[in-house]
């Protein structure tokens, strides 16, 4: 299962694009409301998550995705369940993807040491130990990072490529007319 964490103040595009594109690619995805079922994004769009954070299980966890947004990122970082899930993935060779401000959570946890990563401009100092990429989407080890909302579709397609291969990613890219 791929879990996409939605914390109050999350960037809507950065959550919706991966959820949509990964489901198109036939991956098992659940959105997870941190602190409740209904979560408001940074632009006031309320989303009803598939499950809440207390319903998460590491037994079927294959990957976690962290959308950004300034407030959303701070709320993700405050969540013991989010941090425990990231640690589980890191310790068990599972992928962790983060976009915009959210790679800062990984940096603060010391997970980006020696990795190449990208984030929203101004958050680079929080990517502790990372080599800052110039690419809008970056894969390094088991970490996938993206620059911001403008690359949310490319970020999602890169996740599909990493998990399911380039052919699957290209098929989805063509279907959604993202050439």
Is residue 178 among the annotated active site residues?
A: no
**The pairing of beta strand 95-99 with beta strand 46-48:** unpaired
Concatenating the DSSP letter of every residue in the chain gives: -EEEEE-TTB-HHHHHHHHHHHHHTT--EEEEETTSSEEEBTTS-EEE-SEEGGG--GGG--EEEE---HHHHHHHHH-HHHHHHHHHHHHTT-EEEEETTTHHHHHHTTTTTT-EE--STT-GGGSTTPEEPSSSEEEETTEEEE--GGGHHHHHHHHHHHHH-HHHHHHHHHHTT--
Which of 100, 119, 138, 178 is the catalytic position? Answer: 100
- CA-wise closest residue to 31 among 45, 102, 39: 39
Report, as residue numbers or ranges, the catalytic residues.
100
């Amino acid at each position: 299962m791929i879990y996409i964490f939605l914390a109050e103040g999350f960037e809507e595009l950065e959550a919706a694009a991966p959820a949509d594109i990964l489901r198109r690619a036939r991956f098992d995805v659940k959105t997870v409301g941190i602190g409740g079922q209904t979560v408001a994004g940074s632009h006031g769009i309320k989303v009803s998550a598939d499950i809440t954070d207390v319903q998460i299980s590491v037994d079927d966890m294959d990957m976690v995705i962290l959308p950004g947004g300034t407030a959303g990122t701070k709320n993700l970082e405050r969540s013991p369940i989010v941090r425990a899930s990231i640690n589980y993935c890191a310790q068990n060779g599972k992928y962790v993807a983060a976009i915009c401000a959210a790679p800062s959570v990984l940096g603060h946890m010391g997970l980006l040491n020696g990795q190449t990563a990208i984030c929203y401009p101004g958050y680079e100092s929080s990517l502790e130990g990372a080599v800052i990429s110039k690419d809008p989407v970056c894969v390094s080890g088991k970490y996938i990072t993206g620059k911001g909302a403008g690359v949310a579709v490319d970020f999602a397609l890169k996740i599909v490529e990493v998990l399911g291969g380039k052919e699957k990613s290209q098929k989805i890219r063509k279907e959604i007319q993202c050439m």
